[in-house]
Amino acid sequence: MYERYDSLGVVALMTPWNYPFAIPLVQLATALAAGNVVVLKPSPVTPLVGQKIGELCRRADVPANVVHVVHLRDEDAPALVEHSSVAKVFFTGSVETGRRVMASAAKGPKPVVLELGGKDPAIVAADADLDRAVPGIVWYAMANSGQTCAAVECVYVHRAIAELFTQRLVAEVRRLRVGDPLDPATDVGPLATEEQRRRVEAHVEEAVAMGARVLVGGHRLERPGYFYAPTALTDVPPSARLLHEETFGPVIPVVVVDTLEEAVDLINRSPLGLTASVWTTNSALGRDLAVRLRVGAVHVNDHACHWAEPRAAWGGVRQSGFGRVLGPHGLLEMVAVKIVSEEYRGGALDPWWYPYSPHVISLLANTARALYAPLCRRPWALFSLLLNRRARRRVNWLEYLRHPRTWW
């Protein structure tokens, strides 16, 4: 008996605009390595990047008709998901769109892998190394202008160091240079669309109206492009969308907690659960929190750094989706696992086949005891099998003796 990993056939990759090259390219390579044909639907916001990927496949001599790039408006995407030739769908995007993809796939039904973003938290313990924690959190919150599914979107800091942490965080954010993303000296560029900027504004303005305090930023920048100032806030009310919905912008809400238990409870009650980070110098504390946080990945004194690790799977829990991409688990998502059993004993009959008799019942009962009973009872079960008439006639005892690993 052995396993086969068969290709699925045609897989559909529906990829987002925030990393329009890296995300589809890695998934496409995984699909091809597993022997599949790929239909890539890039985001309507970044169609030319999708075209470039198709061009690179042609230049790499990928056989014709193995990679197809199709451009669809979001409202037309169900036609791709529901197409009878598509065996599986991989979608990266918002929770709302992910639900629609899943509903379309259910008509098949056909399997889906969903990566629906996150509201990734960072927990800063009282013993955290702020020389690392502050710049690390700011980078993971502001990189790509915060337009990253695993960006730090909320910081839970212990009250014992909250004032010092907040002061250093604000100073770090103020140092960020906003400008042309093609300029090597730029730290933070614009948002991708005006719609995205309005979403960030709405989250911040709602939180401020509910009592939050803006420590730095908190406004759009009037210049060509969809710029929003790097922002940090505190005193954000628990019911604000800024703490529950993915903002996808250069915004850091800071929540002060009296205990780390409080932070863990708030994180685990979130509808999203992609990644999280813990910042502490206590390794035992780091491991303990890693076990208790219900998310797809936890990093201690780092955040979401496993994207570039070839052995690491990527994916979340709850409304952040299910299934995995990347690593061995990602490869397994691209195949159908088939069990193959072979039997070449001419004329041999399995002992549980017809006709039934009391000997069959005794054989099955003693087989179960020989496999799963306490060790002291297994020898008697084996002896009983040797005396069983059906076992003597149909069990290949020489074959059994050749494989001692099956005895216990």
Token code pair at residue 95: 């929770």
In 3D space, the residue among 247, 296, 287 whose CA is nearest the CA of residue 267 turns out to be 296
Is-catalytic flag, 149? yes
Q: Give the Cα separation of 166 and 180 in Å (integer).
A: 28
Alpha carbon 51 to chain centroid distance?
Answer: 26
Q: The dihedral of CA 65, 67, 71, 73: what is its sign?
A: positive
Please identify which of the residues 55, 57, 149, 376 carries the catalytic annotation: 149
Please identify which of the residues 55, 96, 115, 205 carries the catalytic annotation: 115
**What is the helix (H) or strand (E) element at residue 3, kind and residue range?**
strand 2-7
Q: Give the Cα separation of 130 and 297 in Å (integer).
A: 22
Residue 353 CB neighbour total at 10 angstroms? 10
Q: What is the 3-state secondary structure (H, E, C) of 337-385?
A: EEEECCCCCCCCCCCCCCCCCHHHHHHHHHHHHHHHCCHHHHHHHHHHH
Q: Where are the beta strands (DSSP E) in 280-381?
A: 297-300, 317-318, 321-322, 335-340
Alpha carbon 170 to chain centroid distance?
Answer: 31
Cβ contacts of residue 163 below 8 Å, gap of 6+?
A: none
In the chain, the amino acid numbered 92 is: T
Name the H helices within 175-251.
194-209
Q: Where are the beta strands (DSSP E) in 99-216?
A: 112-115, 120-124, 152-158, 213-216
Helix (H, G, I), strand (E, B) or coil at 375: helix
Spatial contact of 236 and 243, defined as CB atoms under 8 Å apart: yes
Residues annotated as catalytic (active site), given as ranges: 115, 149
